[in-house]
Amino acid sequence: MTDLFAPLQSLKQGDWFKLICGASFQHLPAVRSLTLAYTLAGADCIDVAADPAVIAAAQAGLQVAKSLATDAQKRGFDYKGNLPFLMVSLNDGEDPHFRKAEFNPTKCPTECPRPCERICPAQAIVFNNVKENFSGVISEKCYGCGRCIPVCPYSIIDTSSYMSTPGAIAPLVMSTGVDAVEIHTKVGRLTEFEQLWQAISPWAAQLKLVAISCPDGEGMIDYLRAVYELIAPLKSALIWQTDGRPMSGDIGDGTTIAAVKLGQKVLAAKLPGYVQLAGGTNSYTVAKLKAMGLLKEAEGQGAGGRGEEIFPLLPAPCPPSFISGVAYGSYARVLLSPILEQLENKEVNNTNVQANLRLEENDVLLWQAVKLAHSLVSQIKSQQER
């Protein structure tokens, strides 16, 4: 197995870890830092917005991580310099991942307790921001979770949604050296999916991985089968991402139940490809999968052991009988938010604003961030180290 395809080996072994930076998340310093920390912690895939600036920020984080491989090993992290896949997210229609909150702060009464500011997990809502003399939604930080909307006492928060424009975005994204694409779709949007796929397909041969993300709904399995018929045959690996409860993993342990339940449903359908959880995933997810017998057994523990060639890596036409991996979004980002906040505060308070702008330039915060990231990555990786 070459380093180039090491992430695919993780899919086969059932210990695939994906970081979701957010399809709408465009805060470049955070994307760079998250990519750096989770790469050093052993992530197999970094999923980012289909924005050239965001892609460049992630690529910068990947290259810094590669240069720090020796340091990581000396500190006890099992990172060998392999680069995770860089994935971009696209959508074929209305989707909560592709939206941002917005409101006019001048309409906020002075007596409002501002619950929106407190509930925002991305610290994207601010009032009287000293650094930028700004109030409202910091657009690049907002990733569309929507938690601010129901808590607003005056119902003045709205959202703006956007769609991937196939003709414009596909060539742009596919020419930037990404390894994988994820298409967010929904039951009943086969025509729209086909239009987006037709725009991507000229570049599909250069992809190492295609992921299809779909929430549950009536007729979901039939819909996914129809999607497969449209994209087959593939030269890349294929992931079915089961979006259980979108952008909720940081709310509480119970949110993972929806992700696991949907994963079971898709796994039982035996669709060609790998099944990977998302939507509500958190520190409880791997333990739940293990308790339910949904993870691959370690080598020497019967059928499905690591040493057996059950199915080829590309594109896994014979579906495995286990959940192949987990993607973490809001939980993974919030886990590192205290570190990223410290980094941002140091930048604001330092007269030389460039001095602490990058995570790798602050040795203490860097390895604190990697340790936190590793505490999450290692949960699924340790399943194959027993």
Strand partners, 183: 90, 212
Is residue 356 pLDDT above 50, yes or no? no
148 and 235 assigned to the same domain: no
112 and 20 assigned to the same domain: no
Q: Which of these three, 137, 161, 185, is where a domain ends?
A: 161
Indicate whether 239 belongs to any domain: yes
Indicate whether 365 belongs to any domain: no
User: What's phi and psi for 317, nearest 5 deg?
Assistant: -70, -25
Residue 347 confidence (pLDDT): 62
Is residue 315 pLDDT above 70, yes or no? no
Q: Which pTM value belongs to this model?
A: 0.91
Is residue 364 pLDDT above 80, yes or no? yes
Indicate whether 136 belongs to any domain: yes
pLDDT tier for residue 273 given thresholds of 50, 70 and 90: very high
Number of structural domains the chain divides into:
2
Strand partners, 48: 88
pLDDT tier for residue 312 given thresholds of 50, 70 and 90: very low
Residue 106 three-state SS: helix
156 and 185 assigned to the same domain: no
Arithmetic mean of pLDDT over the chain = 88
- Is the preceding peptide bond at 272 cis, omega within 30 degrees of 0? no
Indicate whether 306 belongs to any domain: yes
Please give the structure tokens belonging to residue 280: 């509500």
What's the CA gap between 80 and 82, in Å, rounded? 6
16 and 29 assigned to the same domain: yes
User: What pLDDT digit, counting tens, does each position of 144-195 carry?
Assistant: 999 999 999 999 999 998 776 666 666 666 667 899 999 999 999 999 999 9
Is residue 63 pLDDT above 80, yes or no? yes
Residue 385 confidence (pLDDT): 55
Is residue 308 pLDDT above 80, yes or no? no
89 and 124 assigned to the same domain: no
Q: 157: domain range? A: 99-161
Indicate whether 216 belongs to any domain: yes
Please give the structure tokens belonging to residue 350: 């330092």
Residue type, 331: Y
User: What pLDDT digit, counting tens, does each position of 5-48 carry?
Assistant: 789 999 999 999 999 999 999 999 999 999 999 999 999 999 99
Residue 4 confidence (pLDDT): 59
User: What pLDDT digit, counting tens, does each position of 67-77 carry?
Assistant: 999 999 999 99
216 and 325 assigned to the same domain: yes
Indicate whether 341 belongs to any domain: no
With contact defined as beta carbons under 8 Å apart, do 166 and 92 qualify? no
70 and 106 assigned to the same domain: no
| Domain containing residue 121: CATH number | 3.30.70.20
Between CA 382 and CA 179, with CA 319 as vertex, the angle to 5 degrees is 70
Is residue 367 pLDDT above 80, yes or no? yes
- Secondary structure string (H, E, C) spanning 348-373: HHCCCCCCCCCHHHCHHHHHHHHHHH
114 and 239 assigned to the same domain: no
328 and 228 assigned to the same domain: yes
With contact defined as beta carbons under 8 Å apart, do 7 and 18 qualify? no
Indicate whether 368 belongs to any domain: no
What's the CA gap between 59 and 41, in Å, rounded? 16
Indicate whether 349 belongs to any domain: no
What's the CA gap between 146 and 326, in Å, rounded? 23
Residue 129: how many other CB atoms lie within 10 Å: 11
